[in-house]
Structure 1
């Protein structure tokens, strides 16, 4: 009786989840092969949406930008997040305060952050260039978000600044779960701090590394908000990513084409995450 009562309580939530998330997700597999515009009846057109996606102007640049953003932000957020976690895990006087400071940007609105960095990156009156001029480093001043060669790196830095603290928090949870006995035994044997990190800390934190890696990879491949809020894909389409292509198609009423682009993104995420999951899972078993 108790088991039936428990499952009965779960049923309403399950129905809502199936209706709002699962059914539309499976429906998108069909609409990706249609010319649906949201008003008229959809017509099956086969692979045309996917062929049109390949014909999008600078599609190679769109994919390049998406991967640059994903690789750069994932690498630095994990490296810096781990470094900050190791720092604030020490017996520091202001450790709790530092944790709050580092985590704070993650709770800010992405749009608010983008507006702030739009002012910071301004080529003539921006805080960053003004700071460089104050240090007599005028040669380093740049058009940070209007230079096609720099814009994706500038956007990536904003993402890194905002969410490194989130990854720090996940790493910190893993660090605090490692038994102190593990360190005491190797300390007696004369292990250095680097050896402790390499052979004790990192192997026992593989689940946390895995969570951070997947969180950052999926977020990077799906990036849209920070790009759109900062540059709207400009200048001249130099910062377009897959997410902005999806948005553009939806904005033009081309729902079938937008769904096709979203489906490509979904499959891309599944393949990349699936391969990495197999690799990391093998490492976890070895440990």
Structure 2
């Protein structure tokens, strides 16, 4: 007779200690620092209540950063998910070049963000950039823009680079989901006279909704937490026109405004938590429905 072995809960202690030391304690400390005014060495702190949070919305550059972060998250999430699904359906077709096509579509994901930013900085240069030169060659001068130096469009140019780099990841996840759909189900639907749109709406989309949920959540989180692509492309400029929350956090820490930087980080955490919970709840309703 085989005896069941029960291990002591004390064996969980090392893991809990590591989790508490590197996750719980730093987060609780961060929440505390958000309500203080710290000096550059983090040695002197003075409780200031909600003053750090108020300044985030009173200062113009920080208000712009919050607006840009939401614009960036919405635009990139929409296009990464929509284009990722379209590319996945294309990559799921039986072609002689299917493997090559999938590799090329996924290739930008593995590239360094810094390398991508340097390349696009050259491509989008207002006078010598390949994009504007191409438009001028095609006699489409009216479409040329100062893509990374015009305050009105710079955040959209950064969105484009983000979409180009990360759409391949959503495509791969969608492709994996599409390949789990039974071929017999598709064949039965075709025999019943179902057209392509009906096939997608009533069969394909409901079956891949869990992956839609995953891709939307990952894209929203990535969009709200963006830093590297913005900092490498524009540094938050020109002026403050492409600032996002994480560039403000970086800027405040660099200026020794540690309390405001921590408060911005806490606000970002709360935004991500609330938005992800709401999006997840809404998408789960569709999956269950």
Q: Same fold (TM over 0.5)?
A: yes
Counting only pairs closer than 5 Å after superposition, residues 111-130 of structure 1 correspond to structure 2 as 111-130=114-133
| Distance change >3 Å, CA 127–CA 5, structure 1 → 2 | farther
Is 1:281 matched with 2:284?
yes
**Aligned-partner Cα distance in 1 for 2:128–2:22:** 46
- Mean Cα deviation higher: 251-260 or 38-47: 38-47
1:84 alignment partner, one of 74, 84, 87: 87
Secondary structure, in 3 states, of the residue corresponding to 2:38?
Answer: coil
Q: How many residues align?
A: 285
- Checking the alignment, whether the CA contact within 8 Å between 2:56 and 2:63 is kept in structure 1 is no
Secondary structure, in 3 states, of the residue corresponding to 1:203?
Answer: helix
Q: Spell out, residue by residue over 1:171-196, the C-alpha distance to the aligned partner (whole angstroms, 9 max, x if none).
A: 01111111223212221211011111
| Distance change >3 Å, CA 54–CA 129, structure 1 → 2 | same
Deviation at 1:20, TM superposition (A): 1.3
Give the root-mean-square deviation of aligned CA atoms. Answer: 1.8
**Aligned-partner Cα distance in 2 for 1:7–1:151:** 54
Secondary structure, in 3 states, of the residue corresponding to 1:35?
Answer: strand
Look up the match of 1:57.
Answer: 60
Deviation at 1:14, TM superposition (A): 4.4
- Checking the alignment, whether the CA contact within 8 Å between 2:91 and 2:98 is kept in structure 1 is yes
Counting only pairs closer than 5 Å after superposition, residues 146-225 of structure 1 correspond to structure 2 as 146-225=149-228
**Aligned-partner Cα distance in 2 for 1:204–1:114:** 36
Look up the match of 2:254.
Answer: 251
Look up the match of 1:28.
Answer: 30
Deviation at 1:99, TM superposition (A): 0.8
- Mean Cα deviation higher: 158-167 or 245-254: 245-254
**Aligned-partner Cα distance in 2 for 1:230–1:179:** 44
Q: Spell out, residue by residue over 1:187-237, the C-alpha distance to the aligned partner (whole angstroms, 9 max, x if none).
A: 121101111111111111111101100111011111111111111111111
Look up the match of 2:137.
Answer: 134
1:238 alignment partner, one of 226, 238, 241: 241
Deviation at 1:11, TM superposition (A): 5.5
**Aligned-partner Cα distance in 2 for 1:231–1:84:** 29
- Checking the alignment, whether the CA contact within 8 Å between 2:62 and 2:248 is kept in structure 1 is no
| Distance change >3 Å, CA 175–CA 229, structure 1 → 2 | same
Deviation at 1:2, TM superposition (A): 5.5
TM-score, normalised via structure 2 length: 0.93
- Checking the alignment, whether the CA contact within 8 Å between 2:53 and 2:263 is kept in structure 1 is yes
